[in-house]
């Protein structure tokens, strides 16, 4: 009689041991998934912060670009005006007859004016080059920020998808733990439950 009772107790003990093992495994899997989820959320927050920072930088750079292009247009207009004045003056060079009539004064005046106009063109070149460098630098930085923002958006999308997957895994393990706690093991363990009966 005792032997029969012990034999009935052994499968129940084995089932209880299996339940404890399954519970521990599910608890471990769920804990690992929760840790992974926390890491993913941290990374997603960092990606979102990168997107926000890029948006602020892009707005600032857009303003700098508008201001830089305004300066560039002004510098280019001054340079073009100086270049046109120099070209027009070069075409108006007095001939030999005009120089002889003026006692070569016309030639000296023309040369002095030519020197002034050449200096004006040189002076107009410096701010024009500086404005071009500024606008070029702003455009490069703008492009870099656009790339950084796009990378952060891609990362955020990937991290969001991974969060959804891990959340599903957490919920699955939570359901398994609840089933193990209730003793409701689902269809796979139904034969064992029937054996106990």
Residue-wise pLDDT tens digits, 176-197: 888 878 775 544 444 444 333 3
What's the rounded Cα separation, in Å, for the pair 15 and 129?
Answer: 83
pTM over 0.85? The answer is: no
Q: Give tens-digit pLDDT for 88-113.
A: 988 877 776 666 666 667 778 888 88
What's the rounded Cα separation, in Å, for the pair 50 and 142?
Answer: 15
Q: Give tens-digit pLDDT for 137-165.
A: 999 999 999 999 999 999 999 999 999 99
Q: Which residues fall within 8 angstroms of residue 176, CB to CB, at 6 or more apart?
A: 22, 26
- Model confidence at 66, pLDDT cuts 50, 70, 90, reads very high
**CATH code for the part of the protein at 2-196:** 1.10.287.620
pLDDT of res. 5 = 46
What's the rounded Cα separation, in Å, for the pair 72 and 65?
Answer: 10
Q: Give tens-digit pLDDT for 79-94.
A: 999 999 999 988 877 7
Question: Phi and psi at residue 104, in whole multiples of 5°?
Answer: 70, 5
């Amino acid at each position: 009689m005792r032997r029969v009772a012990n034999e009935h107790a052994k499968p129940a003990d084995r089932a209880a041991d299996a339940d404890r093992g399954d519970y521990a495994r599910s608890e471990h899997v769920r804990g690992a998934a929760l840790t992974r989820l926390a890491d993913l959320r941290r990374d997603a927050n960092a990606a979102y912060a990168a997107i926000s920072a890029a948006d602020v930088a892009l707005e600032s750079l857009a303003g700098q670009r508008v201001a830089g292009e305004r300066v560039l247009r002004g510098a280019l207009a001054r340079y073009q005006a100086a270049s046109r004045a120099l070209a027009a003056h070069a075409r108006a060079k007095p001939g030999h007859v005009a120089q002889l009539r003026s006692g070569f004064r016309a030639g000296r005046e023309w040369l002095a004016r030519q020197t002034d106009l050449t200096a004006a063109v040189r002076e107009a070149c410096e701010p024009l080059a500086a404005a071009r460098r500024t606008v070029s630098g702003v455009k490069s930085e703008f492009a870099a920020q656009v790339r950084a923002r796009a990378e952060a958006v891609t990362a955020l999308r990937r991290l969001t998808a991974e969060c959804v997957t891990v959340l599903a895994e957490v919920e699955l393990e939570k359901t398994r733990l609840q089933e193990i706690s209730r003793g409701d093991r689902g269809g796979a363990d139904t034969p064992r439950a029937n054996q106990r009966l």
